Each structure stands twice: as C-alpha cells, then as structure tokens.
Chain A
Amino acid sequence: MFVVPQAQRGARLLRPRPGEGWRDQLAGWLFCLPALALVVLFLVIPIGLAAWVSVSNWDGIGSPLAAGVHWIGFANYKATLTEPGLAQQLFGESIRNTFYYVLFVVPIQTFLALILAVVVSRKGLVARSFFRTAYYFPSITSSVAIAVVFSFLFSGTGTINAVLSFIGVHGPNWFTDPSGLIQDLLGAVGVRNGPAVLVNHGLLGISWWQWLAGPSVAMSALIMLAIWTTSGTYMLIFLPALYNISAEVEEAAQVDGASSWRQFWKITVPLVRPTMFLVLTLGLIGTWQVFDSIWIITAGNPEGTTLSPAFLAYQTSFSDQQWGQGAAIAFLLFGLIIVVVLLARWWLWSREFTGGRRTLRGLRGATLAGGVGVVGGAAAARARAAAGSDGDARQ
C-alpha cells in the first residue's frame, strides 16, 4: 500500500523543527526507500515506458528508448477510437462486454458482501469463524485454479447443466453460446430484429442494437465466477465497519419497533457508507481490469463476446506484435477507469452533500441504470437542492 503523506508531515520531514535532527529525517527516508524503489521500478517506469510505446513506433525488438524509435503522434489512439476498422470494432466490443460485466458484478458483489458480513457478525451465530473462512475461501484460492474448475462446471455436459436438468431446465452450452441475454429476452417476447434507427447507427463500430445485446451467456458464467470469488474479500472489509456500529444504535432501533429489514436499510447501510464507497471503488477498478478468467477459459470467444480491454491489449501486443496499439488500449482503459471512479465518487459525495432523504432509493436506482443514471441522478440531486434552497429553476 502506498500512502501519500499529508502536507503537514511532508513539510515537517523537509524542514525539521527545533529538536529534530537530520538523523530522524534520514531514518524516515531510508525506511521509505525500499518501497519507493519498488514502486518506481515496477510501476512508474514501466507505465512511463508504456506511454512512450503508445505514441512511438517501437516494434518489440530492443529497448523502446533505443535510437531508431521515434514519435508518431496519436495514430494508435486514433486507430482504436475514431478510424473505422477491426481495431475500433474490437475495442467497442470489449468496452460493451466489460460494461455489462461491471454492471452485474459490482452491485451484486457489494450487496452480497454486505449481507454476508451482516450474517457473520450477528450475535449468537455458532461457529462464526468457520463461516467467515468459508465465505472468504474463494478469494484466497488461485484465480487460475478457480477458472479451470469453472470451465469444467459450466461445460455443455458439466455439473451445472446436470443440476439444471433435475428441475427440467435444459442448460445452454455456457462457454460457447454468444447470444446476448437482453436480446434473448426480447426474442422470447417476439422482438427478433432491432428497429432500424438502432441497427443503422452505432458507436465505436458497434451498432446501438448490439450495444443493447446484454452480456452473452458465456459472459454470464464469468460474471458468476467473479461474484463468487470476490464477495469474500469485500465481506472482510465490511466487517470492521459493522463492528463500529455501536450496539446502542441497534438496541434503540429495536426498542422503537423497527423490523430487521428496516433496520438493515435505514440504519446499517447509511452507517457503512464510507466503507461502501471503498468497496465500490475497488470493485469498479477490479472489474474493469478483468483478465485472468478470460485468458484461462474463453480467450475472448465466443465471437468476441468475452473480450475485455485488458485482454485485447495483451492479445494485440503479444500475439499481433502491435505494441503501440496494445499500449494505447491499456491507457484508454486507464482513462476510462479514472473517469468511472470519479463519477462514482461525485455521485456518492453529492448525495452526502445534499443530504437528500431519498439517498437509498437513489443508490438502488442509479446502480441499476448504470453510467447514465449516475450522471443523471447527480444532476437531478443538485437541481433539486438548488431549486429547494433558493427557488430558481435550474435545468
């Protein structure tokens, strides 16, 4: 963990107060130096070199800082974002796939982690540490091992389909089924082809109708894998927050006659909001960067419906030997994650700032509506606050 020192401590380190010798200063820096060196050597420098590779014509032979490598501007970024072609289409597909992955994984795993934490921290639970270990166990198991096991479980004749057949459901051939869930649902009610306006226009080489296809069946299996694996970690993060809720608050609520459902929504959830922000941020960052399970199980198949930007960057760089474009995809993903996390932070902060009573309904609604809801909800909250406070109508 790399913690930026606060301004005051930083100043004190550089300008010693009377009584503090240079030895203390030096000791402080020496203690920091190994961690600092590792971070610089394995994070800062490679990231800097990758940024250079994305705007240069490095071909993979020799150092990117060697004499023959020179600046080519933002051609790689343009090829991925603006020029129509396979590169743009694959990038668009990877963004669409990962968007649905994040949309399902982050809310479900946050909610599940909170529920598990509440269950595990309940007074009077027998064998508490056994349950804690059991729920946390998937998180400490190797992601590769879990991915291999899941690829067997979800195969066409695997365990999942066998269990589904007990209740008479014929399970799909999970990892080879590219049909999108939303399009399947629409097909079940008879809507097979999209309206012309959605099919003929698009973004990043994918038509709007394909953007609305939803996660593919293969992606759904990966979503289940992710939820099962990471809920345990976030359960552990929620536990201290739950322990911090003093017993008096809960007893007061019980005395007032609140049911445990109301208690959960009206007391527990608001009181763990800072931890929830941490879990949401970590979840967003982790899910947008998904790579392991895709590399082990599907490699982007079927039909590119399990491509993610991270996997696409790896494939473009190592398999296609197009290093500049791979690095450009990685940096575009970096920018996207920063934007998403800032949006999440703005949204949660603006809710706290306005102190709106409908915070929880807004939380649920915005999570379901995804990115659009985040911006819309924040803007609506500000407008409501502005209209409420000084009466002028702000659109």
Chain B
Amino acid sequence: MFMIKPVQDRRLGRLARRLAIPTAAMAVVAVVAACGSSPSSSNSASSALTPNKKPITLLFGSSGTAETAADNAAGKAFTKQTGIKVNVVPSANLTQQLAQDFAGNTPPNLFYLDPTSLQEYAPKGALYPYAQNLPNISDFYPSLKSAFTYGGKLYCAPKDSSTLSLYINNADWKAAGLTSADYPQNWTQLAAVAKKLTTHGRVGLVTDPSESRLDVFLYQAGGSVLNASGTKVVLDSAANVKALTFVQSMLKAHIMDFPSQLSESDEIPALGENKTAMIISGPWMEGEMSLDYPKVSYSVHPLPAGPTGAKGTLVFTNCWGVPKINDNLGGTIEFVKFLTTTAQQQRFTKAFGVLPSLQTLSSWFESTFPLNAPELEANAYAHPDINIAGDTNALNSFNSALAELATQSPGSILSAAQTNLQAVVNQDKTGG
C-alpha cells in the first residue's frame, strides 16, 4: 500500500536527482540478479552418467501419509544399498513448486511427472530421456508408455497406474433382484441395470461431469480425442456424438446423475451415502471408502463395451521425471531402476493401493488382490487422459459444458471443445 501524493515540484532536474540513488541501487541489484542466474556448465556425456555421492532430492505430490511413508522407506532402502543419501520432499503444490525450481535452474533430481506436464516440459529440453535405456523397458504396459512418449522418445518410466472401472454396491444389487449374470457387458445392459437400480432417493449410476470420466464412453463408441498421429483433435466425430447422446439419454431418464445434483462433491461420497448404486471411479476410492464408509460393501467390474463391441477406459498415471540439469544424473537413474524393480513396485502397491506398471506383476496382483483384478486388466484397453500442453483452460471449459449435458446438445459441446483444444494443439506446434 502506498499513499498517492501529488508531485508539487515540476523541475525535472530536482526529480532526476531525487531518483538517482534508488535507480542506481536498482541497476546494481538487477545486474547481480542477472549474473547469478546462468546455469552451471554441463558435464561431458560419459562422466554425467556415472553415479556420484551427491544427495538425491525426490519431490512429489502425495496422496496421503501412506504414500509419503512408502517413498521414505524406498529412499532409505536405496541409501542402505548404495550409500547415496535421498531427501524425500512431499510438496503441497507440485506444479507450482516444480515451475519455481525450473525457473531458478535448480530442479529436484527426481519428481513425479504427469503426462500433461511432460508435454509442457519436454519441448523445452528440460527433461532427460533416460527411459530409453532401462533394462526392463519392454515390461511396462504400452498404454502407459504412450502417455510418456514425446518426439518418439520414451522420456520417463511409468511408476504406477489407475484405471476407471464400475464400482457396484452389492446390497443394492441384490435388493434389485440382480445376480452375477447381470453385470453389464454393453450399453443396453448398462442402461437396463441402471433403471432397475434407480429407486426413490437413489439413482442407478453417478460419475463426475468431467472429460476425465465421460471420455470412457467416447472410446467405447469407437471415437477418440486425438487422431492416430496425435496431430489433430477429432472430438466432433459422429461416434463421439453418439457416445454423449447415450449419456444424455440416461441423464434425461434420471437413471444417471452428477454428484452436484445430489449435493455431493464427488462420486465416492454418493456411493457411500447410498445416493447411487454404481459409480465410475478408480482404485483411489478404496482408501476413502474404507475410511469414511467402511460398512458399504461393493465390488469392482469392468466398464461395458460400446455398440461396436469396443472396450475403452481411461488410465491415469505418473512417471519418474528426471531433469537434464542434475548434479547426480547417474545416481538418479540408479534410483529409478531401484524404484521400478518388481519388489519395490509390490511394496508400493501394498502400501497405498496403486496398480503396478510392470506387466510381469499382473499375475501376482490378481492372486494377492483378486477382487481388484478388473482394475489391472483394464490396462489392456485403456487410453491416457487428454494431455496436451497448455490445455488447462480448454479442459475447464469442456468440463463446464459437460456439466450441462442433460440440457445442451452433445454436438455443440463437442464442437466447442474441438475448437478450443485444436487451438491449443496449433499453438503448441508453432511453439507459442
């Protein structure tokens, strides 16, 4: 806050003299700031990959105490094995902190990287594509690898995954007279069971009104968001319009609803409070359900196929991102190799319930967690969520429009989103 006082003295000389010393001070500080900001000179390629004893910092956004504890344990185990100290730093706002660190040329040695951030950082040459040379590169699920590929290179190793599946309240299912033969395999059956499960005070199906849920219907109808080469947005295709029209028909028949209409913030409380019998959600719901709604018994099922028989779902994943500016590049890559071993991935899964990203662990997972097997199997036909660099505003607009799907035309929603996202893709191509 500053007081505005009218300048009474008009003589420029006096004004200039008055401002001379502060301006000089500013100039000095500006020069010092500029001088102190050049990045450290990079080492030659061969010596850079040799691990040294410098400590490694891992920066991540935690889903809770279980994940922080698991990462801490992994860091300690690595230190025991190699003697390289690991600082595990949970971040309150990973996007912001990472941006700040990159701007200051001091990024952490290792961090969680989501597919959209990869698309934003990779073109700037900020990341080191170590994953090409990992020994177990062929073991990762292809759908996960595709989310982390830029310019034909795999930049980082997927650490885990979460897919969308159908979670059904067992008591409501039985009460409606449905059996295990009735789990929906296609859209017609989905609408039929949703109708049967809709009673007074309870809808059949609930999910978030955002593209990170409703896109599953687009893929099931045989449509997609981007074309095969990833250069054009194809949201306004006929298949996509068919998909959203189907969702709209369920909304209009009041056998499906969005959480806000039921005064819930999310689909998970809607299931917990028995305002719905089925939700489309992911493995993260299990933690919340066991904490807040332990008495609700539910089961996991794959999402139904579309009219053409195509199965589709979304997969959400993060990878271990490594920046180019790294004072222990070799040590960091050794740490990532340690973190992507089957033993370490098993420890992560047991600690906070994520799905492993290595295909060889699928039989172990299905035998240890048989009830969650559909979640892992969905990786075979899962597509990554929309991850175009700079798409936050366009996606927010798309989600806002989807919230009105019950009353707006699917064609207009999709063409508006098409225009906005294509503009973002074009902007990325020209490097704007």
CB distance from B395 to the nearest CB of A (A): 10
Contact of A66 among B38, B400, B423 (CB under 8 A): B38
Does A7 sit within 8 A of B, measured CB to CB? Answer: yes
Once the chains bind, are A62 and B396 in contact (CB under 8 Å)? no
* A34-42, A125-133, A184-192, A265-273 - interface stretch: A34-42
Which residue from chain B places its CB closest to the CB of A75 in the assembled complex? B432
Cβ-defined contact, A10 with B14, below 8 A: yes
- Whether A178 touches B8, Cβ cut-off 8 Å, given contacts A40-B22, A60-B124, is no
Judged by a CB distance under 8 angstroms, whether B3 is at the interface is yes
CA distance A322 to B401 in the complex (A): 24
**Set of chain A residues within 8 Å of B9, measured between Cβ atoms:** 7-8, 10-11
Q: Is B403 an interface residue (CB 8 A)?
A: yes
- Given contacts A11-B14, A85-B423, is CB(A40)–CB(B392) below 8 Å? no
Whether B25 pairs with A320 at a CB distance below 8 angstroms is no
Taking a contact as CB atoms closer than 8 A, the residue among A5, A36, A60, A316 that contacts B25 in the complex is A36
Tell me the residues in window 283-310 of chain A with beta carbons closer than 8 Å to chain B beta carbons. 300-304
Partner-binding segment picked from B29-37, B50-58, B182-190, B352-360: B29-37
Q: Does A315 contact B (CB under 8 A)?
A: yes
In B3-35, the 8 Å CB interface with A consists of 3, 5, 7-9, 14, 17-18, 21-22, 25-26, 29-30, 33-34
Q: Which of A6, A45, A61, A315 contacts B103 (CB 8 A)?
A: A61
Number of A-B contacts defined by CB within 8 Å? 128
State whether A60 touches B103 (Cβ < 8 A). Answer: yes
Q: What is the chain B residue whose CB lies nearest that of A312?
A: B393
**B154 → chain A, closest Cβ, in Å?**
21
Q: In the complex, A379 Cα to B397 Cα: how many Å?
A: 41
| A20 close to chain B: CB less than 8 A | no
Q: Select which of B26, B125, B260 is within 8 A of A45 by beta carbon.
A: B26
Which of A40, A45, A48, A60 is within 8 Å of B102, CB to CB? A60
**Considering only CB atoms and an 8 Å cut-off, how many residues of chain B contact the other chain?**
53
Shortest distance in angstroms between B387's beta carbon and chain A's nearest beta carbon? 13
In chain B, residues 289-310, which have Cβ atoms closer than 8 Å to a Cβ of chain A?
A: none
Let me know if A44 is at the binding interface, CB within 8 A. Answer: yes
CB within 8 A of A173: which of B22, B33, B260, B394?
B260
Beta-carbon nearest neighbor of A67 in chain B: B38
Binding site for A on B (CB under 8 A): 1-3, 5, 7-9, 14, 17-18, 21-22, 25-26, 29-30, 33-34, 37-39, 95-96, 99, 102-103, 105, 120-121, 124-126, 260-261, 263, 265, 389-394, 396-397, 399-401, 403-404, 420, 423-424, 432
Instruction: Name A residues whose Cβ lies closer than 8 Å to a Cβ of B.
Output: 1-8, 10-11, 14, 29, 36-37, 40-41, 44-45, 48, 59-63, 65-66, 75, 85-87, 90, 155-157, 173, 176, 178, 282, 300-304, 315-322
18 extra A-B contacts, CB within 8 A, seeds A3-B2, A61-B121, A61-B124: A1-B3, A3-B3, A10-B9, A10-B18, A29-B21, A40-B29, A45-B26, A45-B30, A45-B33, A61-B125, A62-B37, A62-B102, A62-B105, A87-B393, A90-B393, A304-B396, A315-B392, A320-B390
